[in-house]
Amino acid sequence: MKGYETGNPTSSIEKIIGRHLREKRLKRGFTLAEVASKIGISYQQIQKYEQAISKISAGALYRLSSLYGVGIEKFFEGLGGTSVSTTGESINIFGHTGKKVINLLLVEDNPGDETITRKALNAFGDLNILCVHDGGQTMEVLRYKTLCPDFPRPDLIFLDIYIPRRDGIAVLKEIKRDREIQDIPVVILTNNTRTDLMAEAYKNGASGYICKSFDFITFRENLTDCIKYWSSAVVLPSAARRIE
């Protein structure tokens, strides 16, 4: 993988990244050897990254960010709003801070389940929720924008399986066949615990499968963990689209 390419001198970028790498390692109390062992890179190479002698790959930087428990953007603090590119792929490092509002499309036809789901999601701020109640409405929002045209393109979809006008699996298949919307993560949200249905959902491109627990606290924790994952732990596909 090639090194980073930006409008700033490469050496200054590497020095900033190296300084942050060293600071984060020391803050966590890791030795060079411990870091090397944990992420599968020689300690000499880790040392070269910290001293800005070697360019660091995006893959190594992501592994280090995970090990140190910080977002990858933390290694670029001091560079401003720099866009960083690697071998033909671009990512806006500062576009993913874990603090953006998530546009969530909830597909749920049961009013009681919708109320409980909304109540559970209240524990997580920064959510813009639109609820639709059948498969037809779902595709109108996603593909045609004829229903609620002011609602932004969803970052994430929570999709019930048992909905009218195309069940959830049929809607999932339709989403994943459409090149314009197939990158939106779809998480199945259902009462059904059948393993064959779970397998079918994943086979057709589901990004997750959450069972609606009868225990509200468990249900709330499952939903908030899912939202935290998509808002903080990973870069959403919608963030990548913004810089194409």
Share of the chain above pLDDT 70, in %: 81
Task: Give domain status of residue 48, yes or no.
Answer: yes
Task: Give domain status of residue 5, yes or no.
Answer: no
Q: Are residues 111 and 38 in the same domain?
A: no
Within 13 A of 68's CA, how many CA atoms are on the CB side? 27
Share of the chain above pLDDT 90, in %: 40
Mean pLDDT of the chain: 81
Higher pLDDT, 89 or 235: 235
Asked if pLDDT for residue 139 goes beyond 90, the answer is yes
pLDDT in tens, 3-41: 333 333 345 778 888 888 999 899 888 899 889 888 888
Q: Are residues 39 and 81 in the same domain?
A: yes
Asked if pLDDT for residue 215 goes beyond 80, the answer is yes
CA angle (133, 139, 213) in 5-degree steps: 45
151-168 average pLDDT score:
93
Specify the number of domains making up the chain. Answer: 2
**End residue of a domain, out of 67, 95, 123:** 95
Domain with residue 164: its CATH number is: 3.40.50.2300
**End residue of a domain, out of 37, 67, 95:** 95
Phi, psi of 183 (to 5 degrees): -85, -10
Asked if pLDDT for residue 96 goes beyond 50, the answer is no
CB 190 within 8 A of CB 167: no
Q: Are residues 58 and 123 in the same domain?
A: no
Q: What is the pLDDT of residue 241?
A: 56
Amino acid found at 30: F
Pairing of strands 127-132, 156-159: unpaired
Q: Are residues 68 and 139 in the same domain?
A: no
pLDDT category at 232 given cuts 50, 70, 90 is confident
- Domain containing 74 equals 10-95
